[in-house]
């Protein structure tokens, strides 16, 4: 049963276009030019309750625009969105009380005041009952380890501490859906781990539906089961993270260390790369059986060590972008 249903949404922006140099400046003074940019083109998907979905794509791919339409900030030009039976951009007040949004680059905390004051303000804004507030605050303070800085002004916090506070702020009213826009940007490795751990825990315990956009593939790998890849405003992939390999890149790599300096004969269907005189890399597709290749190598040469690897997700995704770019 789908919880969020998105049907054929599109969004176009008008952007001003400026020429360069003095002629461009004069032209802009007289007659500014605009061009249309299609930020989102005909995207559809559905998301079930309790799912964790990551949106990835290069800068300007349309991730943010999609998230903004889902959270009710933007009207789509065409298409429809329903989220737990509500149309976000039409029934704003009743909808936004049920969602939480974390913008990694824009804090919603009061810059000059202690974190706690921002929480108190949010309690009043969202009409959070005392008992729920107390329960959530206690729980998040513990899970996110905030007790050390909850009484400090936000401007004195490290980026990681601020981000943890921002995440807690977005969740105080127990939302059913949470949108994370770059939730770990600029945060150090330990901070990132703490945030990811919290997200996993919350998803497991409360069955909160979570939607991410991020540049950090680690975020996605550690928190999401499903990814939607968006590029140039269109959806190019939607499925399990683990299936991306299956779908896009089925090559594997065999790294071999020989006992002595060795020249190998070319093998049909296998690409050979020299690392140095004694190390070689063999790259091959699904049509080659790994047993055959290995036995062939072991029979013909003196091998000290063998190591098999699959390409990491990040490089596959990089390949997907560049392929789209080339087309």
Partner 1 sequence: MTAYIAYARKVFLGRSAYRFDHLMSILSVVLQFFIFCEIYRALYGGAEQIDGITMSMVTTNFVLSLGLGTIFSPDDYFLPNKIWDGSISTELLRPISFKGRMIAENVGDSAFNLIFKFIPVLIVALLTTGVEPPADIPCLLLFILSAVLGYGVLWSISFAIQMTSFWLINIWSLVTIKNVFVNVLSGSMIPLWFMPEWMQGVLDFTPFASIYFTPVQIYLGQLSYGEIAAKCAIQLVWIVLIYLIGEILWRKGQRKLIVQGG
Partner 2 sequence: MRDTLHLMAVYTKTTAKAWFQYRVDAVLRSLAVFLREATGIIVIWFTLLKFDTLNGWDIYEMLFLFSLLFLTYGIMIIFFTGLRDFGKTVRDGSFDRFILRPRGLLFQIIFVNSDWFAAIGHGGLGLVLFLLSAGKVGIRWDLFNALYYVLTVAGGVLIQGAVFLLLAALNIYLLQTESLKEMLYWNMRKFAGYPISIFNRFIRIIMIYVMPFAFVNYFPAQFLLRKSDMAEYPEIYMYLTPVIGILMYLAAYCFWRFSIRFYKSSGN
Residues lying near partner 1 in the complex (CB under 8 A) are found at 18, 21-22, 25-26, 28-29, 32
For partner 2, the closer CB: 94 or 322: 94
Residue with tokens 């790599």: 253
Interacting residue with partner 2 among 20, 23, 30, 112 (CB under 8 A): 112
| Dist. CA 95–CA 86, nearest whole Å | 7
Residue 132 interacts with partner 2 (CB under 8 A)? no
Q: Which is nearer to partner 1, 21 or 148 (CB)?
A: 21
Q: Is 276 in the site for partner 2 (CB under 8 A)?
A: no
Compute CA distances 249 → 252, 284, 290, whole Å.
Answer: 9, 11, 16
Least separation in angstroms between residue 16's CB and partner 1 is 9
Q: How far apart are CA 2 and CA 44, in angstroms?
A: 13
By CB atoms closer than 10 A (0-12, 13-18, 19+), residue 94 is exposed
57, interface contact from partner 2, partner 1, none, CB < 5-8 Å by kind = none
Question: Which residue in 29, 41, 16 sits closest to 236, CA to CA?
Answer: 41
Cβ 213 vs Cβ 182: under 8 Å: yes
Q: Is 137 in the site for partner 2 (CB under 8 A)?
A: no
Pick out residues in 78-97 that bind partner 2 (CB under 8 A).
Answer: 92-94, 96-97
State the burial class of residue 231 (Cβ atoms within 10 Å of its Cβ: 0-12, 13-18, 19+). Answer: buried
Q: Which is nearer to partner 1, 27 or 121 (CB)?
A: 27
Q: Where on the chain is the footprint of partner 2 (CB under 8 A)? A: 13, 39, 64-65, 68, 71-75, 92-94, 96-97, 99, 101, 103, 106, 108, 110-113, 117, 120-121, 124-127, 153
């Amino acid at each position: 049963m789908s919880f969020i249903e998105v049907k054929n949404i599109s969004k176009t922006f008008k952007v001003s276009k400026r020429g360069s140099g003095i002629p461009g400046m004069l032209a802009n003074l007289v007659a500014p030019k605009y061009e249309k940019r299609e930020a989102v083109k005909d995207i559809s998907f559905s998301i079930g309750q309790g799912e964790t979905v990551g949106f990835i794509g290069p800068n300007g791919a349309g991730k943010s625009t999609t998230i903004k339409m889902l959270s009710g900030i933007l009207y789509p030009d065409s298409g429809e969105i329903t989220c737990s039976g509500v149309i976000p951009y039409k029934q704003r007040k009743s909808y936004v009380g049920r969602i939480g949004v974390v913008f990694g680059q824009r804090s919603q905390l009061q810059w000059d005041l202690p974190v706690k004051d921002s929480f108190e303000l949010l309690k009043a804004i969202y009409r959070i009952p005392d008992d729920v507030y107390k329960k959530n605050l206690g729980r998040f303070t513990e899970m996110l380890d905030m007790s050390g800085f909850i009484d400090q002004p936000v401007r004195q916090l490290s980026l990681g501490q601020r981000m943890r506070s921002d995440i807690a702020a977005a969740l105080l009213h127990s939302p059913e859906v949470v949108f994370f826009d770059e939730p770990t940007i600029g945060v150090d490795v330990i901070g990132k781990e703490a945030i990811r751990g919290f997200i996993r825990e919350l998803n497991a315990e409360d069955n909160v539906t979570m939607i991410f956009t991020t540049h950090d593939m680690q975020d996605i790998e550690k928190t999401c089961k499903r990814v939607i890849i968006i590029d140039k405003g269109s959806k190019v992939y939607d499925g399990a993270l683990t299936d991306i390999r299956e779908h896009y890149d089925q090559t594997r790599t065999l790294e071999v260390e020989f006992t002595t300096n060795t020249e190998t004969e070319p093998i049909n269907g296998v690409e050979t790369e020299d690392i140095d005189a004694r190390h070689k890399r063999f790259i091959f597709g699904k049509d080659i059986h790994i047993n055959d290749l290995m036995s062939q190598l072991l029979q013909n040469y003196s091998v000290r060590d063998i190591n098999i690897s699959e390409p990491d997700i990040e490089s596959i995704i990089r390949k997907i972008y560049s392929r789209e770019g080339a087309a």
